[in-house]
Structure 1
Amino acid sequence: MSKGNRTRAEPVLLIGGAGEVGRWAARFFRESNPDVPILIGGRDERRAGLAAAAVRGASSVVVDLASSDLGLGELKVSAVATLFTDEMGGALRWAQQRRAGHISISPGISELGVEAAAFMHQPSAAPVVLGTEWLVGATSVPSLLFAREFAHLEEIRIEAVLDEQDVFGPAANADLERQIYAGATALMRSDGVWRWCSGNDTSSEVRAVDGTKMDANVFSPNDVLLLSNATGAPNVRFDLAMGISSSRRAGGAVSTEIIINLAGRDQAGRPLIKRHAIVHPGGQMPLTGLGVALVLERLAGLAGDKPEPGLYFPSQIIDHSTYLDRLRGAGGEVLELEPIPHGPLGSDQPRAGAEQ
């Protein structure tokens, strides 16, 4: 897209953009789109103004989620990101009225009905992105890229390590607590069967990048749905550990870790196990912000054609061919680890939902 077209682009709107994810998303979006206006929306005018002042070419708007027009009148935007839990669903409805693509990163896997119903009511309005993949594409996109080496995938296991000292804004902390603890259930796929596990069945274990075993729990961001359907793997699970990250255990700073374990057969039909890690020394927020920025670029038509109206996951919107370069440019690392030889995916733990 030419620079002239970028200059005439309508603004992108980040509702809740004064939070940690919003600040990173605005930063990464601005780096790649220097001439596109950015609006930081929030309920607190002063806080939104301070966040906007930190981004060149950004301005702030006050958002009233109880108002049918969000208090924004006839404002035109090219794409909208909602970065906290919008319990009224007003931001998505407003985006649909404006024919603007929308991404929300807060609803858990058991809460998709609100967004799905809004899309079904206006299926031709605009793209609706179900953004609650783990760190908005940082897990799913690399997993799909690494899966290309396989002719058949039998099992995908994601091991995520979230450092207990990682930066959490109030909204992000509330979202994580709700998703992990509300109902204490998690979705996984085992031998081709979808299972909701709860109680003791959610207890598991992960190995961090440095090999340390950590207590974990089965968790179910949208990645389990996306990866199961995209690859056909009959066994897909996501385990989340909260504690000390490998970098901090070595005396360094907080980091976030995503370990991607794949098992199946290669193109020649031979057994194959691969283990990769995505690591960011800044913790979870930079990768989340990068994913939001990349989705906004697509929704606004700044990175290829705008997607047709539809219901999408972030990894269906983000350009896979450039993702790892963008991730590295944002400070992330891609590591190839030695597979752990015990069990299908290097785990001695029984599968959740399986008989003990």
Structure 2
Amino acid sequence: MSTNMKQKPVLIIGGSGVVGSRAARALRWLQPKLPITIGARDQLKANALARELGGADAVKIDLERQDLGLPPGAAYSAVVTLLKDDSLRSMKYAQAQGVPYISFSDFVFDIGPAVAHYIHKPASAPVLFLGHFLGGTVTLATLHFAREFRKLHSIEISAVFDEEDVGGPAAQGDMERVAKGVPNPLILEDGKWIWAHGDDAVRGFKGVDGTQWQGRAYPLLDVPSLAAATDARSIRLDFALRPAASRPRGQGISHEVIIELTGEKQDGTTGRVRHELVDGDAHSGLSARGVALAVERLLGLAGGPPVAPGLYNPEGLLDPAYVIERLRESGTRIQRA
């Protein structure tokens, strides 16, 4: 990467929000000298965050304008959009500048327009879909654990969130879109894609402490990503909410992820393996780490040279083993159960 490219800041749209502010801090932790621009409507919060980070500034974003309301001649090394941009103006802006673009808030049913824009200008910029569970970290952890298998048969991912872990306005808006139920969550069942509803959309699973939960499928991009990256014939992702009243005394908000893999192992035997990720933080923390790792990789600051124009999922860019290492460093407990 050229020195000039390194000096251009990363523009984080929605950067003063719950995930955005944590993503900016995580990026600063990974890359202490990387310039960052916090793009937000709330300038007081954005300016305060920029001062905290150091080597950062803040700008007001207007998604109703083609130039996003940014100053003429503004230049960035990447554009990270951490809210739902129905206009896709942030993507078009990144394509026009020829810099990497990260789309964080797209569900599996949202990506059609962005795919069409990429196809129209495939050589303009790298475009990363990151509408995955916890910023792509769970898909990458799953692929790391899958290396134990010669052939995967099924992938079942379960998660338990605290009912008070609702995130900020952007996250709540995403939840409201899903709550409308159109379309239903996408799962892979015995080699066939189905939009699950009724009994197909719910599944029981055992939590880390042995509690039995009733989870519901969620329409994130992990399922098609894992289907493309593995030979598993059945893949699904289900969430359950933990009532705040059931938390152990003195324990704050936390979340857990269970990854269960079934298939043929390297020694030829068939078996089922369970891995657990426990994070004593709101889910925005792990999501933010995923965003920061993706930015670092796109810019060529870790894991290889700057990424060429193309359409990417996180597993096409990031090394699963590197992600697992970074998660452990940041306090996520990862164990084989």
Which TM-score band applies after superposition, normalised by the shorter structure? Answer: over 0.9
Gaps of at least 5 residues in structure 2 are none
Shift of 1:75: 1.0
Contact 1:115 1:130 (C-alpha < 8 Å) held by counterparts: no
Partner of 1:68: 66
Counterpart secondary structure, 1:335: strand
1:56 to 54, 57, 63: 54
Which residue is 1:160 aligned to? 159
Quote how far apart the aligned CAs of 1:237 are: 0.9
Aligned to 1:341: none
SS where residue 59 of structure 1 aligns?
Answer: strand
Counterpart of 1:78 in structure 2 is 77
Residue 187 of structure 1: aligned partner: 186
Match of 2:127 in 1: 128
1:247 and 1:99 map into 2 onto residues whose CA distance is 49
**1:245 to 1:194, Cα distance in 2 relative to 1, 3 A:** farther
Which residue of structure 2 aligns with residue 326 of structure 1? 326
Closer, same or farther in 2 for the Cα pair 1:164/1:11, shift >3 Å?
same
Structure 2 counterparts to residues 293-312 of structure 1, below 5 A: 293-303=292-302, 304-312=304-312
The CA deviation at 1:143 is 0.4
Does the CA-based 8 Å contact 1:138-1:278 persist in structure 2? no
- Cα distance in 1, alignment partners of residues 277 and 59 from structure 2: 35
Q: Which runs of 4+ in 1 moved over 6 A?
A: none
Deviations 1:57-82 (A, max 9, x none): 11101111111111112211111110
Residue 234 of structure 1 and its aligned partner are, at CA, apart by 0.4
Q: Are the aligned partners of 2:154 and 2:263 in contact in 1 as well (CA < 8 Å)?
A: yes
Report deviation, 1:243: 1.8
Asked whether the equivalents of residues 223 and 236 of structure 2 are also in contact (C-alpha less than 8 Å), the reply is yes
Give 3-state SS (helix, strand or coil) of 1:110's partner. coil
Cα gap change, 1:314 to 1:250, in 2 (>3 Å): farther
- Cα RMSD of the aligned pairs, angstroms, is 2.0
Asked if 1:269 corresponds to 2:263, the answer is: no
Partners in 2 of 1:122 and 1:156 — Cα distance? 34
Residue 121 of structure 1, CA deviation = 1.1
Distance 1:266 1:321 in 2: 19
Supply the distance in 2 between the matched residues of 1:26 and 1:152 (Cα, whole angstroms).
Answer: 38
Corresponding residue of 1:34:
32
Secondary structure of the residue aligned to 1:141 is helix
Does the CA-based 8 Å contact 1:278-1:332 persist in structure 2?
Answer: yes
**Amino acid paired to 1:34:** P
- The answer on whether the counterparts of 1:82 and 1:105 sit within 8 Å (CA) in structure 2 is yes
**2:318 aligned partner, one-letter code:** I
Secondary structure at the aligned position of 1:323 is classed as helix
Deviations 1:26-45 (A, max 9, x none): 11111121111100001232
Q: TM-score, normalised by structure 2?
A: 0.94
Preserved CA contact (<8 Å) 1:6 1:36: no
* C-alpha distance in structure 2 between counterparts of 1:69 and 1:301, whole Å: 26
- Greater mean alpha carbon deviation, residues 198-207 or residues 225-234: 198-207
Change (3 A) 1:27 1:290: same
Q: Distance in 1 between matches of 2:207 and 2:275?
A: 11
Render the CA deviation track for 1:306-332: whole Å, top value 9, x for unaligned.
111111112222232311121112221
Q: Contact conserved, 1:151 with 1:267, CA < 8 A, in 2? A: yes
Distance in 2 (alpha carbons) for counterparts of 1:307 and 1:246: 46
The separation in 2 between residues aligned to 1:244 and 1:153, in whole angstroms, is 34
Q: What is the number of residues matched between the two proteins?
A: 335
Give the corresponding residue for 1:144: 143
CA distance in 2 between counterparts of 1:55 and 1:204 reads 42
Query: What TM-score do the two structures reach when normalised by structure 1?
Result: 0.89
- Secondary structure of the residue aligned to 2:49 is helix
